[in-house]
Amino acid sequence: PGDQSQCDWAHFGRFAVGKALRPLMAFVMVLSYSRYLFLRFYLGAAMSAFLDGHVRAFSAFGAVPRTVLYDNLRSAVLERVHLEHAPDAIRFHPTLLELSAWYRFAPRPVAVARGNEKGRVERAIRFVRERFFAARRFADLEDLNAQALAWCEGEAAERPCPEDRSRTVRECFEAERAHLLALPDEPFPATERVIVHTHKTPYVRFDLNDYSVPHTHVRRTLEVLATVETVRVLDGSTVIATHPRSYDRGAQIEEPGHIKALEAHKRAGRAHRATDRLHYAAPSAVRLLQLAAVRGVHLGSLTRGLTELLDTHGAAALDAAIAAALAEDAVHLPAVRHFIDLHRAQRGASPPIPVTLPDDPRVRELAVRPHELAEYEKLAQESPDERSAPSPDPKLAKPDDNSDNDGGNDPVA
């Protein structure tokens, strides 16, 4: 009694979560003497679920067996080398060794292709399939696990114990409990560690889904600490994000604070881009903004107003109006509007037709440096014949009779 338990995973089909179809896996642990059973379902057999199953099983037993027998699971055994005249060389998963040291049990894998060595857990899984899961109705995973716990503590515990059929499994378990190891003061932290990377966007990809991080942590190598219920993201030893774990596929799990900070950062970036655009399209705007800052003018409103004038009237008209306003020492938006209207009236131009630009920043923030208008006026003054006449080809031009000749050769008479 108390010497051994056997543990294994069992596949129970698929479970739909949003766009994902997750494997429904049962973690089963049975005490070899009393046959007392622990059963819990997970959406996959990841290390976090493997560890969580142990922690919950030992908690349900109220104690720990001295040995836990495993099949050659990847979560338990990383490498195994068969030796002819000595026990096999086995490299256990380091996280399993941490778990076993925490609870002071010895992990022991069965021999390769010797499923009969863990016959108790194999029969327990068959018992679960036939007596619990068959035709079972449940609303969700939480409901299924609540039913599984009630079944383990009820029907499964009241069956006759194979070691002593005069007693129930529950009665044998109560007798076995005294031989088990005591639980530690704190449960083992059932987390899996995964190295992740952020790229241009402030999200990390973990288990088919994207989790937000602060925008200040893009283009970095980070670490995910995941349990079956939560996902924490660390930069070094600092936790920068905590999210509920999603078992969907392609979902974005976001913390509102991350999104608000990102939006504020983008607004600030748009303000800088607007200033840069004004600087490129209308160089006089730089001096206007500098003087406005000195005189306490609200720069955000001034920048937005100048950008609207740029979109409506064009770079050349805006730059000329700003230069005129600066000449009058009028560093405010109404003065710039006044000179735009004045210059348009002097040219006899009609009012501009507003153009609605798309939100795409590649279009809205496009800046084109204007050419001097004198070049266009010169073209307008030329006659149609002058504009359409081809330019002479310099290669066909006839040399002057009085021009010098290279090489000292005289032209033939």
**Unique residue bearing structure tokens 């976090």:** 48
On the question of pLDDT at 75 being above 50, the answer is: yes
On the question of pLDDT at 59 being above 70, the answer is: yes
400, part of any domain: no
C-beta of residue 268 within 8 angstroms of C-beta of residue 260:
no
Same domain, 229 and 349: no
pLDDT, position 268: 60
Detail the DSSP E strand segments found in 138-229: 160-161, 164-168, 192-197, 203-206, 209-212, 221-226
Show which of 237, 254, 271 is a domain's final residue: 254
Q: Exposed e or buried b for every residue in 105-121, given b needs 16+ CB within 10 A?
A: bebbbbeeeeeeebebb
Show which of 254, 271, 291 is a domain's final residue: 254
Report the Cα 244 to chain-centroid distance in Å: 14
Helix (H, G, I), strand (E, B) or coil at 271: helix
Show which of 146, 177, 208 is a domain's final residue: 177
Helix (H) or strand (E) holding 82: none
Instruction: Give, as one character, the DSSP assignment of residue 312.
Output: H
Same domain, 152 and 211: no
Percent of the chain residues past pLDDT 70, beyond the cut: 80
Mean pLDDT lowest for which of 53-62, 108-117, 190-199?
A: 108-117
Residues 6+ apart with CB under 8 A from 359: none
Same domain, 13 and 114: yes
**Confidence band of 368 (pLDDT split at 50, 70, 90):** low
Domain of 69, in residue numbers: 4-177
28, part of any domain: yes
Helix (H) or strand (E) holding 394: none
Detail the DSSP E strand segments found in 236-389: 238-244, 252-253
Q: How many residues does the chain have?
A: 413
Same domain, 130 and 19: yes
> What does the pLDDT look like over 108-133, one tens digit per residue?
998 776 666 788 999 999 999 999 99
> What does the pLDDT look like over 234-266, one tens digit per residue?
999 999 999 999 999 999 998 888 777 767 766
**Alpha-carbon distance values, 218 to 195, 198, 203, 215 (Å):** 14, 5, 8, 6
12, part of any domain: yes
Cα angle at 72 between 69 and 76, to 5 degrees?
75
Same domain, 202 and 351: no
Which residue type, as a one-letter code, is found at position 228? V
Domain count, the chain: 3
On the question of pLDDT at 396 being above 60, the answer is: no
Tell me if the pTM is above 0.75: no
Same domain, 9 and 157: yes
Helix (H) or strand (E) holding 68: strand 67-70
Instruction: State the average pLDDT over residues 374-385.
Output: 68
